[in-house]
Amino acid sequence: MAEVVRAATEADYPELLPLLETCFGTGTGPDFERIITLDPWRDPENTRVLIVDGHVASHVQVHYRPVRFGCAQAVMGGIGHVGTHPDFRKRGYSTRLLNDCIRLMERKGYHLSLLFTGINDFYAKDGWRTIPTERFSVAATDVPIWDEPAVCVRPYGGDDDREARRAIYDTVCHGWLGALRRTPLYWQRQPKWARLEGADEDARHSLMAEVGGRAVGYAAFRPLSGHLCFEFAALPGCDAAARAMVCALARQTVELGGDLLHFDLPPGTQPHRILADAGVPIELGTSRHYMYRVIDLAGLLNALAPEFAVRLQEADRAGGRSSFVLDIESHRAAVTIDRARVHAHPTTSAPDVCVTQQEFLRALHGYDDGRAALDAAGSGLPHNPLGVLFPRGVHVYAAGDHF
Ligand SMILES: CC(C)(COP(=O)(O)OP(=O)(O)OC[C@H]1O[C@@H](n2cnc3c(N)ncnc32)[C@H](O)[C@@H]1OP(=O)(O)O)[C@@H](O)C(=O)NCCC(=O)NCCS
């Protein structure tokens, strides 16, 4: 049998779309087509197929995704629609395609990869690591009825509000780690991309908050899929608007017959702080669907150098010099810190600091346990900089950005 791994051509799509329907269910072929044709960063080379005797047997998509880490930006490859036709399973095809995607991402200068899955063990074999992420819910009737007379909360107005939402997101997402750097074109297409205005949802349930006629916050809410708020942002200093939006979401949940108001957001985000400050009982849950993989450790550290400089300066640690070899399982980089300048290159030299990939990824995304592991592993370094380079933060990759 002739087996070839390559980019899909237009001629493959009449076979590829039914294959995805077979793997993922009715409607997923058109869904996939919509997602890749609306993708503002679409790269046709990233639709990878394994061809057996001229027919599409297996598929993996890599989505180019620029993500923010403070003032720095890294390139992430989002892995999606991993599927092998039932007649061709358990022959290693998917594994071959995933490895092809890793090489493609290395060649194209990607730093990280993210996927969402329920079959974590399958991807762990090829180096992706589960990053457990906390989510929270509250009983809608526990949310106080805050009286915020200066704030007007109204339904989201679609195109008319898009620019205001974009500006609010750009300000607020600076405080998140790993959030998508959305472009104007992405904003224009996002409602169709993420089906925010899909047939089973009502976009009027998403909210805008205004103070003195100026938009200062927004909340994206899925009324039918479990009363779920999947995006929430209020400008700094606009706590009254944030409270008014949380209150409106709770009211909607009750009106729609729901008990629990769910947030597809982690602790540390604005609605969590507001609810915690008000003493509302918060139920935490853990999602195990996010898996990350480092693609290029040295490249990632170099991409983050502008943010590292800020962190070193803010911690008043920009005077020290340090150099060490960092090892995270199969990735190793020699790191030099000279005043606030961080530089890394790949190396095979003996490591000074060894952590697991998962610990590193948790530290990168601002989790205390990951930072503590890095800090402890680097305790022998002069002016151990690791706790400073990877401070506590809030990891948000917004659900509306999923691929
Ligand atoms: C998962 C899937 C892509 C694997 O494709 P494949 O070409 O058969 O994969 P490979 O031959 O490279 O690897 C097969 C291995 O994956 C394992 N695997 C398959 N489905 C699995 C699952 N649901 N959970 C855990 N492991 C799974 C197999 O047990 C096998 O393990 P083994 O090598 O130890 O025997 C394929 O089963 C499929 O298309 N499933 C439906 C769509 C899907 O669930 N996609 C993943 C979405 S995140």
Are 186 and 269 contained in the same domain? yes
The answer to whether position 399 is within a domain reads: no
Atom of ligand 1 nearest to the CA of 95: 12
> Where residue 387 sits, what CATH number does that domain have?
3.30.1050
pLDDT at 207: 94
Which residues have C-beta atoms less than 6 Å from ligand 1?
Answer: 23-24, 58, 82-84, 89-95, 117, 119, 121-122
The C-alpha R_g of the chain, in whole angstroms, comes to 22
Are 141 and 255 contained in the same domain? yes
Are 191 and 73 contained in the same domain? no
Q: What is the pLDDT of residues 122-169, one digit of tens each?
A: 999 999 999 999 999 999 999 999 989 999 999 998 888 999 999 999
Q: Name residues whose C-beta falls within 8 Å of residue 35's C-beta, 6 or more positions apart in sequence.
A: 80, 193, 403
Are 211 and 256 contained in the same domain? yes
Which amino acid is located at 58 in the chain?
S
In sign, the C-alpha dihedral spanning 134, 140, 144, 147 is positive
Are 364 and 259 contained in the same domain? no
Q: Is the pLDDT of residue 83 over 50?
A: yes
Are 139 and 112 contained in the same domain? no
pLDDT at 199: 45
- Give the residue numbers spanning the domain of 28: 3-129
Best mutation site among 91, 122, 125, 130 for ligand 1 pocket (most ligand atoms within 8 Å of CB): 122
Dmax over CA atoms of the chain, in Å, equals: 71
> Where residue 28 sits, what CATH number does that domain have?
3.40.630.30
**21 phi/psi in degrees, rounded to 5:** -60, -40
Instruction: Give the closest residue to 133 by CA, choosing from 231, 232, 264.
Output: 264
Atom of ligand 1 nearest to the CA of 85: 39
Are 156 and 274 contained in the same domain? yes
Boundary (domain end) residue, out of 287, 321, 338: 287
The answer to whether position 125 is within a domain reads: yes
The answer to whether position 400 is within a domain reads: no
Residue 74 · residue 29 · CB < 8 Å: no
The answer to whether position 256 is within a domain reads: yes
Query: Global pTM?
Result: 0.95
Taking the centre of ligand 1 as the mean of its atom positions, its distance from the CA of residue 122, in whole angstroms, is 6
Are 12 and 116 contained in the same domain? yes
Which pair of structure tokens corresponds to residue 173? 């997402």
Residue 20 · residue 81 · CB < 8 Å: yes
The answer to whether position 282 is within a domain reads: yes
Q: What is the pLDDT of residues 185-210, one digit of tens each?
A: 999 888 777 665 544 567 778 899 99
Residue 143, H or E segment: none
Please tell me the residue having the least CA distance from ligand 1 atom 29: 90
Boundary (domain end) residue, out of 97, 129, 161: 129
Instruction: Give the closest residue to 296 by CA, choosing from 342, 333, 348.
Output: 333
Question: What's the average model confidence in pLDDT over 1-15?
Answer: 95
Q: Is the pLDDT of residue 251 over 50?
A: yes
How far are the Cα atoms of 175, 221, 268 from residue 70, in angstroms, in the given order?
7, 26, 16
Are 280 and 335 contained in the same domain? no
pLDDT at 196: 56
Question: What's the average model confidence in pLDDT over 346-374?
Answer: 97
Atom of ligand 1 nearest to the CA of 122: 26
- Residue by residue, DSSP assigns 54-92 as TEEEEEEEEEEEEEEETTEEEEEEEEEEEEE-GGGTTSS
pLDDT at 347: 98
Instruction: Give the closest residue to 207 by CA, choosing from 154, 151, 276.
Output: 154
Are 278 and 146 contained in the same domain? yes
Please tell me the residue having the least CA distance from ligand 1 atom 46: 82
Q: Beta strand pairing status for 321-328 and 353-355? A: parallel
Are 149 and 258 contained in the same domain? yes
Boundary (domain end) residue, out of 242, 263, 287: 287
Number of compact structural domains in the chain: 3
The answer to whether position 402 is within a domain reads: no
Are 156 and 269 contained in the same domain? yes
Taking the centre of ligand 1 as the mean of its atom positions, its distance from the CA of residue 82, in whole angstroms, is 9
**325 phi/psi in degrees, rounded to 5:** -105, 120
